[in-house]
Structure 1
Amino acid sequence: MMKQTLRNSVFFMIAFFAAAVSLNASAKVQKSMTVDATAYNSVPGQTDDDPWVAAWNNRLRPGQKVIAVSRDLEKHGLTNGAKVKIEGLPGTYTVRDRMNKRFKNRIDVWMEKDIKKARQWGKKKLKISWVRPKKK
């Protein structure tokens, strides 16, 4: 009987420790900030050699909600694959591209080939929000 109780206690302690480690590893931090927001298109002159391939080698496809970020935002967790909510726009956007290093505190909303729509968008100051893994 004593051995069974000891085994149960050890099992409980191991399970508790594993759960605590798992919760800590999956802890996330909600982040938000105000950025300049512009728009870009998959057309020559606005992109590199292949206008449908983004900076991290992601192939862009019509219908996707994609943004590019200035490189200074990467240190805040806005890296390839990050999910971002943008004030005033429905849905969630995915970071799939990065901007030239000359840009700071800026996102670029991908508008496929619709140059007119991108020009109408112009430049805005908008709040964005995302979740990033908690630093250990």
Structure 2
Amino acid sequence: MAVSPIRGRTAIARATAYNSLPNQTDSTPFITATGTRTRPGVVALSRDLLRTFPYGSKIMIEDLSGRYNSALRGRVFIVEDTMAARKTGSLDIWMSSRSEAMRFGARQIRITAVR
């Protein structure tokens, strides 16, 4: 998996959260599109955003509403998964439980490449 040389590139996207339930993923709910195991810090991007932030990209996420920034601030996430083909302009953050993912909800975010 190559690391992206796009430091500083940004995009605005819709963010949601997912966890490893078969109805939220494919038939291998704990395995990402790159073959790694799901874990905190893993994100899935829609296929259109993968062109800008390819697998292996390290990113930071800012909640544009400001409500969830305390949980996101200072964290570096890694792009290791992808979303269903029908999704565009979207990011999914892996979370360990369904209730945590539901609390996150959906929000507008800014993605910034850090490496």
Shorter-chain TM band: 0.7 to 0.9
The residue correspondences of 1:13-52 to structure 2 (distance < 5 A) are 28-52=6-30
Compare the two structures and name the one with the higher helix fraction: 1
> Which consecutive unaligned segments of at least 5 residues does structure 2 have?
63-68
Confirm or deny that 1:84 pairs with 2:73: no
% identity of equivalent residues: 36
Partner residue, 1:99: 83
Q: Which amino acid aligns with 1:120?
A: R
Distance 1:73 1:43 in 2: 23
**Closer, same or farther in 2 for the Cα pair 1:116/1:74, shift >3 Å?**
same
Confirm or deny that 1:122 pairs with 2:105: yes
Q: Which runs of 4+ in 1 moved over 4 A?
A: none
Q: 3-state SS of the aligned residue for 2:31? A: coil
Distance 1:84 1:109 in 2: 12
Q: How does the TM-score come out when normalised to structure 1? A: 0.69
Instruction: Give the number of equivalent residue pairs.
Output: 102
Taking CA–CA contacts closer than 8 Å with sequence separation of 6 or more, which of the two structures ends up with the larger relative contact order? Answer: 2
> Which consecutive unaligned segments of at least 5 residues does structure 1 have?
1-26
Q: How does the TM-score come out when normalised to structure 2? A: 0.81
**Closer, same or farther in 2 for the Cα pair 1:46/1:128, shift >3 Å?**
same
Query: How much is the aligned-residue C-alpha RMSD, in angstroms?
Result: 1.6
Question: What is the CA-CA distance between 1:60 and the residue it aligns to?
Answer: 2.1
Q: Which amino acid aligns with 1:52?
A: F
Distance 1:115 1:66 in 2: 15
Partner residue, 1:4: none
> Which structure has the larger Rg over C-alpha atoms?
1
